Amino acid sequence: MSASNMPLTPALVRWAYRFLLGRDPESEAVVENWCGAGNLTGLRDGILSSPEMAAVSMSGFPDRGGWVDNLVTDQAAAACLILAQDTVPDAAA
């Protein structure tokens, strides 16, 4: 199933920021704004076309933050599949 127009959850917004920018969103208000007004395509395109993403890319994607040292949770794995493959994983995956 395509995830392009799925409603955003706080967890998906947080993981998108972590995976793409290497940091958590700057505030809960930012998370709530994305959840209330965005979809996956808009979130992904918004982050990828941001000046911050350009700066991260031009700096060679330096250390992406301490969150990467933690164990990968089911929530993180699902967010990765949704963001990277535009696919909602089934429960077995």
pLDDT tens, position by position, for the chain (93 residues)? Answer: 566 677 788 988 998 898 888 889 999 999 999 998 888 888 989 999 999 999 988 888 766 665 556 666 788 778 877 877 766 666 655
Tell me the pTM. Answer: 0.72
Q: At 51, list the tokens.
A: 């000046």
Report the alpha-carbon distance of residue 37 to residue 17 in Å, rounded.
Answer: 16
Report the alpha-carbon distance of residue 5 to residue 42 in Å, rounded.
Answer: 9
Residue 87 β-bridge partners: 2
Q: What is the pLDDT, as a whole number, of residue 20? A: 87
Query: Percent helix, strand and coil across the chain, each rounded to 5?
Result: 60, 5, 35
Instruction: Indicate the burial class of 72 (C-beta count within 10 angstroms; 0-12, 13-18, 19 or more).
Output: exposed
Q: What is the pLDDT, as a whole number, of residue 41? A: 86
Report the alpha-carbon distance of residue 2 to residue 42 in Å, rounded.
Answer: 14
